[in-house]
Amino acid sequence: MPDDTQRSPDHGATGAARPALGDRALFPSLELAAYLNHAAISPWSTPVVETITQVTRDFARQGLHALFPWLERRERLREQLARLIGAGAASSVGLTSNTSHGVSTVALCMPWRPGDRVVLFTGEFPANVTPWQRAAELFQLELEFLELAPFHGPGGDGLARLDARLRARPARLVAVSAVQFQSGLRMPLEEIGRICRARGAELFVDAIQACGAVPIDVEAACVDYLSAGGHKWLMGPEGTGFLYARPERARALVPRTASWISHEDPFKFLFEGAGHLDYGRPFKRDARLVEGAAGNTVGLAGLGAAVALLLELGVESIYAHAQRYLDALERELAARGFTSARAREPAARSTILSVSTPAPWTAASMQRRLVARGISCSTPDGLLRFAPHWPNDAARELPLILDAVDALLSEGAGPEQA
């Protein structure tokens, strides 16, 4: 990747080291000994911090005149995100404030007909449920929930059940997460996409727990819409994200949540003299429709710096690196009495390892103790979740994690009183 992916518009390169798998050199301020919480919030790398700092300095010095060079960087980010997910055109990517922004926009702007069915899955994170519930109430839709359990384990018949339901009762849309937040189950998107395409259903993917660490190809998977936030596996700031919409789907969206920037040539009346103030300008016909006024220039610049590192390393390499880490950690935790929720089939694995803790420990009590020992992890819905990314080094970190776990297990009774 060219070096200018980490340059500010009018300044030299940051001078930071290049990213390398298992190397924390770009995270010199990170205090925790083992940061395994990328499924929640990622720490910021040096390029992200320096880029954000440069934006704030530019605006402090120049005000409005600092904006336009950074808007050019925003267009570069759109291209980077399209590459990351295998989208054919940068215009199929709209920049948002978070995953929910993208989900809600599609839920409210679909050209629904009363009685349209939406298929969801139990156990999904609420961000991929609540907007569809609101749309169902507003547009008289029918929601149906399918179980995730049939997608777990060898011989699972989740795909067959989905196909049977769509054949028996055609649906307008199927909404699913690429990776399930609790168990880390990686859903078979390509197979789901083919079924949806064959049965006339559109496919919406919540990719917040995948994008940046798990390979995604929206074209190969027949994805119609995809939404993700920037603060997890993309390793950027909160308040950033994107929505992908297949061009023909974007053209059909109804601009129910439009802003003044949703029009074509929205800035013309500000810079090209009198006579261009026109409230009837047509709306954009691609994913940029989602973008509201006054975008998060600071956050999106930081996200661009983070995504540049991901593209340089390659998502496939990041994914393989995390699998090696989790293979070793899962094996050691199982030997200590933990029960893994990780899929047995490699193709169904993500960059998340969630485990049940041995009695009398609960996930919450153990997580608190581990964080106090410098091991950052989380507890989604009662499981203990470990989520490494490209900077994590198994050789250095696993002994620290296992020493901490062994120390806690040896304490015996009373974890809830800690």
**Burial per residue of 342-378, b for 16 or more beta-carbon CB atoms within 10 angstroms, e otherwise:** bbeeeebbbbbbbbbbeeebbbebbbebbeebebbbb
Is residue 8's pLDDT more than 50? no
| 257 and 371 housed in the same domain | no
- Identify the CA nearest to 242 among candidates 96, 90, 74: 96
Kindly report, residue by residue over 338-373, the tens digit of the pLDDT. 999 999 999 999 999 999 999 999 999 999 999 999
Q: Supply the mean pLDDT for the chain.
A: 92
Kindly report, residue by residue over 241-275, the tens digit of the pLDDT. 999 999 999 999 999 888 877 888 887 888 888 88
Report the 10 Å Cβ neighbour count for 259: 14
What pLDDT is stored for residue 6 in this prediction?
A: 35
Which range of residues forms the domain containing residue 393?
Answer: 315-417
CATH number at residue 324: 3.90.1150.10
What pLDDT is stored for residue 292 in this prediction?
A: 75
Task: Report the distance separating Cα 175 and Cα 162, nearest Å.
Answer: 12
- Residue range 295-299: mean pLDDT, rounded: 93
- Identify the CA nearest to 213 among candidates 346, 88, 310: 310
Q: Is 114 exposed, middle or buried (0-12, 13-18, 19+ CB in 10 A)?
A: exposed
Strand order in the sheet with 339-340: 339-340, 353-356, 384-386
Lookup: tokens for 222: 């027949």
| 290 and 328 housed in the same domain | no
What pLDDT is stored for residue 408 in this prediction?
A: 96
| 294 and 410 housed in the same domain | no
Kindly report, residue by residue over 34-85, the tens digit of the pLDDT. 999 999 999 999 999 999 999 999 999 999 999 999 989 999 999 999 999 9
Local confidence band at 10 (pLDDT 50, 70, 90 cut-offs): very low
Among 288, 310, 332, the domain-final residue is 310
Bridge-based pairing state of the strands 225-229 and 241-245: antiparallel
Given a contact cutoff of 8 angstroms between Cβ atoms, the answer to whether 192 and 151 are in contact is no
| 303 and 155 housed in the same domain | yes
Beta bridge partners of 145: 120
What pLDDT is stored for residue 310 in this prediction?
A: 98
Q: SS3 of 46, please?
A: helix
Kindly report, residue by residue over 229-243, the tens digit of the pLDDT. 999 999 999 999 999
- Residue range 150-166: mean pLDDT, rounded: 90
Bridge-based pairing state of the strands 384-386 and 375-376: unpaired
Lookup: tokens for 107: 């839920």
| 242 and 328 housed in the same domain | no
Contacts 24+ apart (CB under 8 A), 53-60: 54/8, 54/11, 54/301, 55/8, 55/297, 55/298, 55/301, 55/302, 56/298, 58/8, 58/9, 58/10, 59/297
Given a contact cutoff of 8 angstroms between Cβ atoms, the answer to whether 204 and 264 are in contact is no
| 170 and 271 housed in the same domain | yes
Q: Helices 46-62 and 67-85: crossing angle, nearest 10°?
A: 150
Cα distances (angstroms) measured from residue 187 to each of 79, 225, 228, 342: 26, 16, 16, 12
Give the CA radius of gyration of the chain. 22
Given a contact cutoff of 8 angstroms between Cβ atoms, the answer to whether 90 and 304 are in contact is no
What pLDDT is stored for residue 325 in this prediction?
A: 98
Is residue 4's pLDDT more than 50? no
What pLDDT is stored for residue 416 in this prediction?
A: 53
- Residue range 370-383: mean pLDDT, rounded: 96
136 inside domain = yes
Among 310, 336, 357, the domain-final residue is 310
Lowest-pLDDT range of 13-17, 163-167, 381-385, 388-392 = 13-17
| 189 and 319 housed in the same domain | no
Is residue 418's pLDDT more than 60? no
Local confidence band at 334 (pLDDT 50, 70, 90 cut-offs): very high
CATH number at residue 216: 3.40.640.10
Lookup: tokens for 368: 């608190």
